[in-house]
């Protein structure tokens, strides 16, 4: 290889006391042993609340019941220079349904995955079949340790033959030796010394051996049966030492106290090998046929032991050709006769040992490491970036969806917009909110580009304006929540509620295709809210208000146009006597812009370009408000802070091919951990709008491309690759949770989608051609197609 190969192993790892942890450590050492050009690292899996003092090669840890850790591990892998991932797969290692938490990691990485399968099930339950099939799909290569497993993958799961590699379980390389020196070393007795080792659990079948011993020890009283191993941690956690006590009681009942020895401890590999080498006979009395691999049996073979085993799948294959004796499950007489045969036929026993030892030479860790390295090299050569997860968003459409208002209309009745739904059915008991109505007015007015369009949307806009007029309090503030019984549930809403109402009303005032009466009413409601607008203290409320006032200021609305209508109905809008002027709006607009800059100056740090020490909700609206302030005033301070904070939001949320918006499960504090869930679609919608505003104001094309990517969050460009937009109804799902997509479809989600869509629609052709040109430079297009797209881009730029 021309450069150092970097391999990342995922599995349990030493010093954790478990067979796969030992296997992972041995495999890592065998892969890297003697190779200066191979570097290995580990992501270790931990049980809940478990901590270990891991060696330096462990670079990341997953608490296996926390799905967020699997996602973060995927992020770590993508950001690293790892070349290949080697996963140790056993269903019980991972949390979820049939261990499906691991797919949160595998579905999100852009590296080739080699999966070592420690379990293959011949007759799987549905969830295990699904899990296995997904593992096959996400793996570049599947490594199994027996021909039986190869056949099952092909026959049961239809795995492609060229994906499957047979590499035996590794064993330490010890010379073929007699047992005596190791017995002395460990101070062990027994002639013969019979051994069973491994984590103790009821499926070991040790009681079958105990029942076989009385007749044997009556003839060979010096026989010792050593049962070596601690109780399996999960068995101990759930059932204590019940199985061990059962075995001890059986020993007493059978009068075998002098012949049966329990060593209740987890032994490290070096000590374990000495125990195996000290034994004369190894017994593997498992009760389950569906055992596809056994590290214990493999070690016994590799060290040349005489072996008696039940005929589970792995044993049948490994002990073929007279490399051991097979006894039926639970067959006490079979174990008795086999023990006597081996004791009384030393020459045949020795031949059996040699056959096992010779077969084990191909399984030494040195040879296993070479075979894994060969598979790694083959996988890297065949790995295709196009078919990998780096292009996992290839399902995205090549154009924006058409504007579809069906679902918004479904949520709207003659009062307003019903806030929430239950799986797409309006949930009336949640009632209505000013928050949704204000933003809905923004979405609808941005759709109006002609008188005809205004007439189409007249009924919806009238209903929403009626709601806001009714929701405004005597002081000019607004109630927020109204029950389905048409009763307001609060004295007044939050400051954000006021800001969102002004946001929508500002768009109505500035829309030239709406009637003068409608625009006058909107202007009147804003004017009445002026005292409350001046008192705002929360940054997002100020940002919403600025976005609404900007629409009036940028279009230079003439207040004189509304005076005649206002004067004719002045009695209906007490306590105000006149409409607010442009100077009034400008004063509040600039005051709020300055306060946002002051907030930024007070809180930003070298590595934290934000207004507050925490990133919470509706974040991009703050940046967008300052960019609009720059556009109106040309004060470059607003531009500097607006772009700095917008770029910061990009930095903490853009993962290279999708947006991972800040979740509201704890928010994102300075020096804290960014929560992955629960992600709200409003953040993607506001990012889209903010990027479009940035593009329109500073003309940097990167913001146009980011706007497209942010919008595609709704279409599946997100962490879960979940399509949140329903093309048939126009509904949008409410968020991404650790358990998947929230399939409720509330008003906020669809409104923010429409706001984003209408913002991006103005630049659709440019946005898509820009992205396509960029993708073409990665080698996905031939030269002719590339030139065609360059020409298209040039035409768009000229346009």
CATH number assigned to the domain comprising residue 659: 1.50.10.20
Q: Is the Cβ–Cβ distance between 723 and 697 less than 8 Å? A: no
Q: Running DSSP on this structure, what letter comes out for residue 137?
A: H
pLDDT in tens, 388-405: 445 678 889 989 999 999
In a domain, 355, yes or no: yes
In a domain, 438, yes or no: yes
Match 């007279």 to its residue by tokens: 322
pLDDT in tens, 604-624: 999 999 999 999 999 999 999
Going by their DSSP bridges, the two strands 481-482 and 614-615 should be labelled as unpaired
**Residue 263 — φ and ψ, nearest 5°?**
-110, 100
**CA-CA distance, 423 to 213, in Å (whole number)?**
64
* pLDDT at 571 (0 to 100): 65
Beta bridge partners of 196: 227
**Residue 605 — φ and ψ, nearest 5°?**
-135, 175
pLDDT exceeds 90 at position 558: no
Q: What band does 787 get if pLDDT is binned at 50, 70 and 90? A: very low
Provide the CATH number for the domain around residue 326: 3.40.50.2000
* pLDDT at 785 (0 to 100): 38
pLDDT exceeds 90 at position 211: yes
**CA-CA distance, 225 to 197, in Å (whole number)?**
11
Q: Do both 611 and 741 map to the same domain?
A: yes
Q: Do both 671 and 726 map to the same domain?
A: yes
Which helix H or strand E contains 240, and what residues bound it? none
**CA-CA distance, 569 to 557, in Å (whole number)?**
20
* pLDDT at 767 (0 to 100): 63
Q: Which of 578, 603, 628 marks a domain boundary?
A: 603
* pLDDT at 795 (0 to 100): 40
**Residue 34 — φ and ψ, nearest 5°?**
80, 5
In 3D, which of 681, 727, 704, 747 has the Cα closest to residue 401? Answer: 727
Q: Long-range pairs for 147-156 at CB < 8 Å and ≥24 separation?
A: 147/317, 148/292, 148/313, 148/314, 148/316, 148/317, 149/117, 149/120, 149/292, 149/293, 149/313, 152/120, 152/121, 152/122, 152/292, 153/117, 153/120, 156/120, 156/121, 156/122, 156/123, 156/124
Q: Do both 590 and 615 map to the same domain?
A: no
3-state helix, strand, coil in the chain (%, to 5): 55, 10, 35
* pLDDT at 789 (0 to 100): 37
Q: Do both 216 and 140 map to the same domain?
A: no
In 3D, which of 712, 714, 726, 544 has the Cα closest to residue 617? Answer: 544
- CA gyration radius, the chain: 35
In a domain, 174, yes or no: no
In 3D, which of 234, 251, 147 has the Cα closest to residue 199? Answer: 234
Instruction: State mean pLDDT over 579-602.
Output: 96
CA 208 to chain centre: 45
Q: Which of 320-324, 473-477, 489-493, 765-769 has the lowest mean pLDDT?
A: 765-769
pLDDT exceeds 70 at position 790: no
Domain that holds residue 300: 180-362
In a domain, 175, yes or no: no
* pLDDT at 793 (0 to 100): 38
* pLDDT at 595 (0 to 100): 98
Instruction: State mean pLDDT over 512-527.
Output: 95
- Cβ atoms within 10 Å of 432's Cβ, excluding its own: 28
Q: Do both 545 and 664 map to the same domain?
A: no
The alpha-helical segments, DSSP class H, found in 557-673 are 563-568, 582-603, 619-633, 636-653
- Cβ atoms within 10 Å of 167's Cβ, excluding its own: 20
**Residue 45 — φ and ψ, nearest 5°?**
-95, 130
> What Å distances lie between residue 426 and 409, 479, 534, CA to CA?
11, 21, 36
Beta bridge partners of 478: 472
CA angle 616, 617, 619 (to 5 degrees): 90
**CA-CA distance, 535 to 532, in Å (whole number)?**
5
* pLDDT at 573 (0 to 100): 56
Cis status of the peptide bond prior to 192, with omega within 30 of 0: yes
pLDDT in tens, 24-43: 999 999 999 877 789 999 99
pLDDT in tens, 432-462: 999 999 999 999 999 999 999 999 999 999 9
* pLDDT at 110 (0 to 100): 87
**CA-CA distance, 633 to 620, in Å (whole number)?**
20
* pLDDT at 575 (0 to 100): 64
Residues in Cβ contact with 200 at an 8 Å cutoff, skipping those fewer than 6 apart = 206, 227, 229, 230, 231, 232, 235, 243, 244, 264
Q: What band does 291 get if pLDDT is binned at 50, 70 and 90? A: confident
Q: Do both 150 and 236 map to the same domain?
A: no
Q: What band does 766 get if pLDDT is binned at 50, 70 and 90? A: low
Q: What band does 566 get if pLDDT is binned at 50, 70 and 90? A: confident
* pLDDT at 794 (0 to 100): 42
Structurally, how many domains does the chain consist of? Answer: 5
Q: Do both 517 and 436 map to the same domain?
A: yes
Q: Which of 169-183, 579-593, 758-772 has the lowest mean pLDDT?
A: 758-772
Match 């992955």 to its residue by tokens: 676
In a domain, 411, yes or no: no
> What is the SS3 assignment for 355?
helix
> Cα dihedral sign for 23, 24, 27, 28?
negative
Instruction: State mean pLDDT over 522-530.
Output: 96
**CA-CA distance, 434 to 79, in Å (whole number)?**
43
In a domain, 492, yes or no: yes
> What is the SS3 assignment for 674?
coil
Instruction: State mean pLDDT over 333-337.
Output: 97
Q: Do both 681 and 591 map to the same domain?
A: no
**CA-CA distance, 20 to 43, in Å (whole number)?**
13
Going by their DSSP bridges, the two strands 58-63 and 38-46 should be labelled as parallel
Q: Is the Cβ–Cβ distance between 707 and 688 less than 8 Å? A: yes
Q: Which of 173-177, 308-312, 478-482 has the lowest mean pLDDT?
A: 173-177
Match 């073409």 to its residue by tokens: 776
Instruction: Give buried/exposed letters for 740-764 (b at 16+ CB in 10 A, else e).
Output: ebbbbbbbbbbbbbbbbbbbbbebe
> What is the SS3 assignment for 282?
strand
Q: Do both 685 and 717 map to the same domain?
A: yes
Q: CB-hemisphere CA count at 13 Å for 373? A: 23
In 3D, which of 272, 275, 278, 333 has the Cα closest to residue 308? Answer: 333
| Residue 370: Cβ-neighbour burial (10 angstroms; 0-12, 13-18, 19+) | middle
In a domain, 783, yes or no: yes
pLDDT in tens, 401-428: 999 999 999 999 999 999 999 989 999 9
Instruction: State mean pLDDT over 175-202.
Output: 91
Q: Do both 590 and 608 map to the same domain?
A: no
pTM of the model: 0.79
pLDDT exceeds 80 at position 154: yes
Q: Do both 523 and 576 map to the same domain?
A: yes
Match 């894994």 to its residue by tokens: 372
* pLDDT at 325 (0 to 100): 97
**CA-CA distance, 215 to 211, in Å (whole number)?**
9
In 3D, which of 716, 616, 610 has the Cα closest to residue 659? Answer: 716
Q: What band does 685 get if pLDDT is binned at 50, 70 and 90? A: very high
Q: Is the Cβ–Cβ distance between 161 and 154 less than 8 Å? A: yes
Instruction: State mean pLDDT over 535-539.
Output: 98
Q: What is the mean pLDDT of the chain?
A: 91
DSSP one-letter string for 709-766: HHHHTTTT-STT----B-TTT--B--EEETTEEE----HHHHHHHHHHHHHHHTTHHH
> What Å distances lie between residue 6 and 35, 57, 117, 139, CA to CA?
12, 12, 21, 18
Span between the terminal Cα atoms of the chain, in Å = 50
Q: Do both 611 and 637 map to the same domain?
A: yes
**CA-CA distance, 729 to 275, in Å (whole number)?**
68
**CA-CA distance, 339 to 68, in Å (whole number)?**
52
Residues in Cβ contact with 686 at an 8 Å cutoff, skipping those fewer than 6 apart = 618, 619, 620, 621, 624, 752, 756
In a domain, 397, yes or no: no
pLDDT in tens, 71-117: 999 999 999 999 999 999 999 999 999 999 999 999 889 899 999 99
């Amino acid at each position: 290889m021309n450069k150092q190969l970097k391999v990342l192993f995922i599995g349990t790892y030493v010093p954790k006391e478990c067979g796969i942890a030992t296997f992972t450590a041995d495999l890592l050492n065998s892969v890297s042993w003697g190779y200066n050009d191979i570097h290995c690292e580990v992501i270790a899996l931990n049980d809940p609340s478990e901590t270990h003092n891991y060696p330096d090669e462990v670079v990341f840890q997953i608490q296996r019941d926390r799905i967020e850790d699997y996602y973060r591990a995927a992020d770590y892998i993508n950001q690293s220079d790892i070349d290949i991932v080697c996963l140790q797969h056993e269903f019980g290692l991972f949390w979820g349904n049939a261990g499906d938490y691991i797919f949160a990691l595998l579905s999100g990485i852009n590296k080739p995955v080699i999966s070592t399968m420690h379990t293959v099930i011949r007759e799987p339950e549905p969830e295990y079949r699904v899990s296995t099939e997904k593992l096959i799909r996400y793996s570049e290569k599947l490594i199994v340790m027996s021909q039986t497993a190869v056949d099952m993958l092909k026959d049961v799961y239809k795995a492609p033959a060229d994906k499957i590699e047979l590499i035996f379980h590794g064993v330490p390389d010890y010379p073929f030796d007699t047992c005596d020196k190791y017995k002395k070393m460990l101070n062990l007795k027994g002639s013969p010394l019979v051994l069973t080792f491994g984590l103790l659990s009821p499926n070991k079948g040790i009681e079958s051996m105990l029942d076989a011993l009385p007749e044997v020890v009556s003839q060979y009283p010096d026989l010792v049966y050593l049962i070596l191993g601690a109780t399996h941690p999960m068995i101990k956690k759930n059932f204590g030492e019940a199985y061990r006590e059962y075995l001890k009681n059986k020993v007493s009942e059978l009068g075998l106290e002098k012949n049966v020895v329990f060593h209740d401890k987890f032994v490290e590999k070096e000590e374990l090998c000495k125990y195996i080498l000290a034994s004369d006979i190894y017994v593997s009395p498992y009760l389950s046929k569906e055992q596809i691999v056994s590290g214990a049996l493999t070690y016994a073979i590799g060290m040349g032991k005489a072996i008696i085993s039940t005929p589970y799948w792995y044993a049948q294959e490994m002990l073929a050709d007279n490399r051991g004796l097979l006894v039926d499950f639970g067959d006490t007489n079979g174990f008795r006769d086999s023990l006597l045969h081996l004791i009384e036929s030393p020459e045949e026993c020795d031949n059996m040992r040699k056959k096992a030892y010779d077969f084990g030479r191909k399984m030494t860790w040195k040879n296993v490491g070479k075979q894994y390295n060969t598979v790694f090299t083959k996988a890297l050569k065949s790995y295709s970036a196009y078919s990998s997860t780096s292009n996992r968003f290839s399902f995205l459409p090549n154009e924006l969806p058409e504007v579809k208002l069906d679902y918004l209309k479904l949520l709207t009745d003659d009062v307003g917009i019903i806030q929430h739904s239950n799986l797409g059915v309006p949930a009336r008991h949640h009632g209505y909110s000013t928050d949704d109505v204000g933003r809905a007015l923004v979405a609808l007015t941005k759709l109006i580009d002609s008188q005809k369009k205004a007439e189409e949307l007249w009924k919806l806009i009238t209903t929403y304006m009626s709601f806001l007029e009714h929701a405004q309090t005597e002081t000019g503030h607004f109630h927020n929540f109204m029950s389905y019984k048409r009763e307001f549930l609060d004295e007044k809403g939050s400051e954000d509620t006021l800001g969102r109402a002004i946001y929508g009303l500002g768009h109505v005032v500035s829309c030239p295709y709406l009637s003068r009466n409608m625009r006058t009413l909107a202007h009147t409601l804003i004017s009445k809210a002026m005292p409350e607008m001046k008192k705002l203290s929360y940054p997002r409320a100020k940002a919403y208000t600025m976005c609404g006032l900007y629409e009036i200021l940028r279009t230079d609305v003439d207040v004189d146009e509304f005076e005649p209508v206002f004067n004719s109905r002045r009695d209906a809008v007490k306590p105000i006597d006149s409409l607010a002027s442009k100077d009034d709006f400008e004063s509040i607009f600039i005051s709020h812009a300055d306060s946002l800059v002051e907030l930024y100056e007070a809180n930003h740090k070298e590595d934290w370009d934000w207004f507050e020490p925490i990133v919470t909700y509706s974040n991009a609206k703050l940046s967008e408000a300052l960019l609009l302030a720059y556009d109106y005033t040309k004060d470059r301070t607003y531009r500097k802070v607006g772009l700095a904070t917008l770029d910061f939001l990009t930095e903490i949320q853009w993962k290279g091919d999708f947006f991972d918006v800040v979740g509201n499960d704890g928010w994102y504090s300075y020096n804290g951990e960014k929560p992955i869930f629960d992600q709200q679609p409003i953040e993607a919608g506001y990012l889209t709008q903010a990027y479009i505003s940035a593009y329109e104001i500073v003309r940097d094309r990167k913001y146009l491309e980011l706007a497209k990517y942010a919008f595609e969050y709704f279409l599946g460009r997100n962490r879960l690759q979940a399509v949140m937009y329903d093309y048939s109804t126009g509904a949008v799902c409410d968020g991404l949770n650790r358990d998947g997509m929230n399939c409720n479809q509330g008003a906020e989600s669809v409104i923010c989608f429409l706001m984003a869509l209408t913002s991006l629609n103005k630049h659709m052709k440019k946005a898509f051609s820009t992205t396509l040109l960029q993708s073409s430079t990665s080698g996905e297009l031939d030269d002719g197609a590339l030139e065609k797209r360059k020409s298209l881009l040039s035409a768009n730029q000229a346009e």
